[in-house]
Amino acid sequence: MNPSRGEAEFKQFLSPRLFGIVASVDGVNELFPMCSGVMLEIERFALFLTVSHYLEDLLKWKESGRLVGAHMIVHPTVNGCGTIPLDFDDLRIYPNGYIDVGFVILPRKHVGEIIRRGGQFVLPQSTDRIPDTFFLIGHASSHTLLRRETIAQKENDKWQLAWPEGFAVSFTRLRFDGKGTDPATLRFVPECSALDDYGGTSGGPVFGFRTGALIRDYEFVGIQSKQVTLGPKVTHLVATSAPFAVDVIREFVMRELLSQS
């Protein structure tokens, strides 16, 4: 695939495969902390895969009573975006203490709404082809604009509600730079990106392509989890190997969840 040609088609193909969670939390520095991720089907379970550290934060916010609410982000088109309210009483959240990839099992009503809105699942296929082009797709929280609504006013004082006005998406071309220092991680150098902060892209999928391949012949390579900076510049992005993460999760699902069914 040549990403310089058919860029619109390329983005349109990948956008429905990007998901995320945005939370409203009391008492945190980031007004609306968010993550990125993908949907997979493993052993008949519909799973949302993202970074484990975000899921750990979600559980802490919920247990402490600071979590006001959370929504799933869906992108049926490049410029289209919608959110689905999440009912935490129906979610099963599984962080992971070994790798920075966890998952959420969604109830059927959420999965049905995702499909109805045009979201698509990622196929965790792996082939002998070695990708030579890599892209990270994720939510750029620093570029997400807020919509504010005044709900009350007294003289010069205003009380406002804020909510994200759409969700900015980043398509970042990456250069592979070897293995990371943590288990099953990969290092990439971001190229041709306007981002100086990759907040919100954590959990975003890294897709790999082989020159001359069709867009649909993608490889699900990694799940981005960390940025490495030198001064104000992001020098590297770290991702957990997607095939490794999927194998770990599949083993857990088969051992723990299927035994409970």
- How large is the average pLDDT for residues 234-256? 92
Per-residue pLDDT tens digits for 168-206: 888 999 999 999 999 899 999 998 766 788 889 999 999
Nearest-angstrom CA–CA distance, 221 and 194: 23
Sequence ranges of the domains in the chain: 7-260
pLDDT of the residue at 152: 46
Structure token pair of residue 239: 């991702």
Name residue, tokens 């957990």.
Answer: 240
**pLDDT score of 3 more than 50:** no
Whole-number pLDDT of residue 56: 97
Q: How confident is the model at residue 166 (pLDDT cuts 50, 70, 90)?
A: confident
Task: Say how far apart CA 58 and CA 64 lie, in whole Å.
Answer: 10
**Per-residue pLDDT tens digits for 20-63:** 999 988 877 667 899 999 999 988 899 999 999 999 999 999 99
- DSSP letter string over 49-77? EE-HHHHHHHHHHHHHT-EEEEEEEE-SS
Neighbours of 62 (CB within 10 A): 16
- In this structure, how many other beta carbons lie within 10 angstroms of the beta carbon of residue 101? 28
What confidence tier does 143 reach under pLDDT thresholds 50, 70, 90? confident
Residue partners of 136: CB distance under 8 A and separation at least 6: 170, 171, 172, 174, 188, 190, 201, 204, 205, 206, 224, 237, 239
DSSP string of 209-244?
Answer: E-TT--TTS-EEEEEEEEEEEETTEEEEEEEEEHHH
Give buried/exposed letters for 177-194 (b at 16+ CB in 10 A, else e): eeebeeebbbbbebeebe
Is 7-260 a domain of CATH 3.40.605.10?
A: no
Six token digits for residue 229: 């900076």
Mean pLDDT (the chain) is: 85
Does residue 218 register a pLDDT over 90? no
Name which residue leads in pLDDT, 3 or 19: 19
